[in-house]
Structure 1
Amino acid sequence: MRFSSVVSAVFGLCFHTSLSSAQQSNLTTPELTQRILTGDFKPAPVFENTNLVRTINLEKGYVRETTNVLVTNTDKNPQSEYYIPFDYDLVGKIGGFDARDKKHAERGPLEVTIGTLAGVSDAKEPSSSKSTQYYIIHLTEPLPPKGAVTLSISYHILEALRPLPASIKQEEKQYLTYYFSAYVPTVYPTIKQKTKVKFPSSDVPEYTTTSGLTSAADPEKQGSSFSYGPYDTAKVPPGTVYPVTVRYEFNKPLLVCSVLERDVEVSHWGGNLATEERYWLRHDGARLANQFSRVAWSTQNFYINAGQMTTSALRELKVPLKPGSVDAYFTDEIGNVSTSRFRPNNVREASLELRPRYPLFGGWNYTFRIGWNNDLSSSLRKLQTPADTYILAVPLVEGPKNPEGIQYEKLVFRVILPEGATNVKYQTHGGTGVPTLQAEHGLHKTFMDTLGRTVLTLTATNVVDEARDVTVLVTYEYTFFAALRKPLTIFAGVAGVFVLAYLVGSIDTSIGKKQK
Structure 2
Amino acid sequence: MFDSSMKLLAISIYCSLYFGLIQSTPNDNLIINAKVDRTIDISNQLVVITSQVVVLNKGSQPVKEYLIQFGDKRHDDNLSYLSVSRVDSSSKKKDALKVSKYSTGESFASYKVDLGQHSIRSGSSIQLDIEATFAHLLQPYPVEISQADRQLVVYLGRIYFPTPYMTETQTTRVRLPSSSSGAESYTKLRPVTYSDRFINYGPYDKIPPTTADESGNEELRVHVENNTPFLTVENLSRTIQISHWAGAISVEETLDVVHTGAKLKGPFSRYEYQREPVSNGISSIRSWKTRLPAGAHDIYYRDEIGNISTSNVRTSLSSVYVDIKPRFPLFGGWKTKYIIGYTLPTKNYLLALNTNTMTNGDYIVRMPFIDHIYDNMVVDQATVRIILPEGASDFRITYPYDIKREPDEIFYSYLDTVGRPVIVLSKKNLVEWHIQPFELHYNFKPFYLLQEPLLIVGSIFGLCILVMALVRTKTSLDAN
Q: What's the TM-score bracket when you normalise by the shorter of the two chains?
A: 0.7 to 0.9
Question: Within 2, Cα distance between the matches of 1:394 and 1:93?
Answer: 26
Question: Within 2, Cα distance between the matches of 1:383 and 1:108?
Answer: 32
2:412 corresponding residue in structure 1: 446
1:320 corresponding residue in structure 2: 291
Change in Cα spacing, 1:61 to 1:51, as seen in structure 2 (3 Å) is same
How big is the shift at 1:168?
A: 1.5
What amino acid maps onto 1:427 in structure 2? T
Render the CA deviation track for 1:388-408: whole Å, top value 9, x for unaligned: 333323222214224xx2211
Question: Within 1, Cα distance between the matches of 2:169 and 2:288?
Answer: 43
How big is the shift at 1:296?
A: 1.3
1:114 corresponding residue in structure 2: 101
| 1:102 counterpart = 2:87 | yes
1:236 corresponding residue in structure 2: 208
1:203 corresponding residue in structure 2: 181
| 1:258 counterpart = 2:229 | no
What SS does structure 1 have at the residue aligned with 2:167? coil
How big is the shift at 1:243?
A: 1.0
1:381 to 339, 348, 351: 351
In the alignment, structure 2 segments of 5+ residues that lack a partner are 1-23
Change in Cα spacing, 1:496 to 1:385, as seen in structure 2 (3 Å) is closer
Question: Within 1, Cα distance between the matches of 2:124 and 2:57?
Answer: 6
Render the CA deviation track for 1:326-380: whole Å, top value 9, x for unaligned: 221112223322322234x374533221211111100111111111112222222
Change in Cα spacing, 1:463 to 1:42, as seen in structure 2 (3 Å) is farther
Question: Within 2, Cα distance between the matches of 1:164 and 1:42?
Answer: 42
Question: Within 2, Cα distance between the matches of 1:102 and 1:439?
Answer: 35
Change in Cα spacing, 1:54 to 1:268, as seen in structure 2 (3 Å) is same
1:227 corresponding residue in structure 2: 200
Change in Cα spacing, 1:110 to 1:237, as seen in structure 2 (3 Å) is closer
Change in Cα spacing, 1:485 to 1:59, as seen in structure 2 (3 Å) is farther
How big is the shift at 1:185?
A: 0.9
What SS does structure 2 have at the residue aligned with 1:388? strand
| 1:295 counterpart = 2:271 | yes
What SS does structure 2 have at the residue aligned with 1:296? helix
What SS does structure 2 have at the residue aligned with 1:398? coil
Name the structure, 1 or 2, with higher relative contact order (CA <8 Å, separation 6+).
1
How big is the shift at 1:64?
A: 1.2
Question: Within 1, Cα distance between the matches of 2:462 and 2:372?
Answer: 43
What amino acid maps onto 1:380 in structure 2? L
What TM-score do the two structures reach when normalised by structure 1? 0.78
How big is the shift at 1:270?
A: 0.5
Change in Cα spacing, 1:41 to 1:444, as seen in structure 2 (3 Å) is farther
- Count matched residues: 444
2:5 corresponding residue in structure 1: none
What amino acid maps onto 1:157 in structure 2? F
1:390 to 359, 363, 367: 363
2:337 corresponding residue in structure 1: 367
How big is the shift at 1:229?
A: 1.6
What TM-score do the two structures reach when normalised by structure 2? 0.83
In the alignment, structure 1 segments of 5+ residues that lack a partner are 1-39, 118-127, 430-434
Question: Superposed, which structure 2 residues align to 1:142-181 within 5 Å?
Answer: 142-181=119-158
Contact persistence 2:289–2:324 (CA under 8 A): yes
1:414 to 380, 385, 395: 385
What amino acid maps onto 1:442 in structure 2? D
Contact persistence 2:149–2:281 (CA under 8 A): no
Question: Within 1, Cα distance between the matches of 2:420 and 2:66?
Answer: 44
| 1:79 counterpart = 2:63 | yes
Render the CA deviation track for 1:3-45: whole Å, top value 9, x for unaligned: xxxxxxxxxxxxxxxxxxxxxxxxxxxxxxxxxxxxx998843
1:8 corresponding residue in structure 2: none
- What is the aligned-residue RMSD (CA, Å)? 2.9
- Answer with 1 or 2: which has the greater Rg: 2
How big is the shift at 1:250?
A: 1.4
Question: Within 2, Cα distance between the matches of 1:143 and 1:494?
Answer: 75
How big is the shift at 1:272?
A: 1.0
Question: Within 2, Cα distance between the matches of 1:497 and 1:149?
Answer: 78
Render the CA deviation track for 1:258-314: whole Å, top value 9, x for unaligned: 11111221111111111111111111111122111111122133xx4xxx7772111
1:511 corresponding residue in structure 2: 476
Render the CA deviation track for 1:84-136: whole Å, top value 9, x for unaligned: 2342343221111212222399786322221246xxxxxxxxxx56x122211
